[in-house]
């Protein structure tokens, strides 16, 4: 069985990049080395691995990655810091 990982990188400009891979450390090196010219992280290096989570099913990993990509910076930070109890409240929008 092949494991998959959802990972979050913190870029040099303070933004986050979320991806999915089968080898998180190899993928980190690819981002760090600028392997993919023009990619989101290429001009935002260096990057730092700040979060990853292991999945047994690549399809579930992809679903989770897509979900995180839609989250606010604050919600991603709560996940990174392990503040899981804050996640539901950060999903709510505040209307004036």
All structural domains of the chain:
4-90 (3.40.1440.10)
Q: For the chain, how far is it from start to end, CA to CA, in angstroms?
A: 49
Q: Which residue has the tokens 């804050």?
A: 86
pLDDT the model gives residue 96: 53
How far is 70 from 80, CA to CA, in rounded Å?
15
pLDDT the model gives residue 93: 55
Name residues of the chain where pLDDT drops below 70: 91-96
How far is 9 from 3, CA to CA, in rounded Å?
19
pLDDT the model gives residue 94: 57
Which residues lie below 8 Å from residue 5, measured CB to CB, with a gap of 6+?
A: 20, 21, 22, 23, 24, 52, 53, 54, 55, 61
């Amino acid at each position: 069985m092949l494991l998959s990982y959802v990972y979050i990188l913190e870029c040099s400009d303070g933004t986050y990049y979320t991806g999915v891979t089968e080898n998180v450390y190899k993928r980190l090196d690819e981002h760090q080395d600028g392997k993919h010219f023009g990619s989101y992280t290429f001009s935002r290096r260096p990057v730092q691995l700040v979060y990853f989570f292991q999945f047994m099913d690549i399809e579930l990993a992809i679903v989770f990655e897509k979900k995180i990509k839609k989250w606010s910076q604050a919600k991603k930070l709560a996940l990174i810091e392990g503040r899981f109890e804050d996640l539901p409240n950060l999903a709510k929008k505040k209307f004036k």
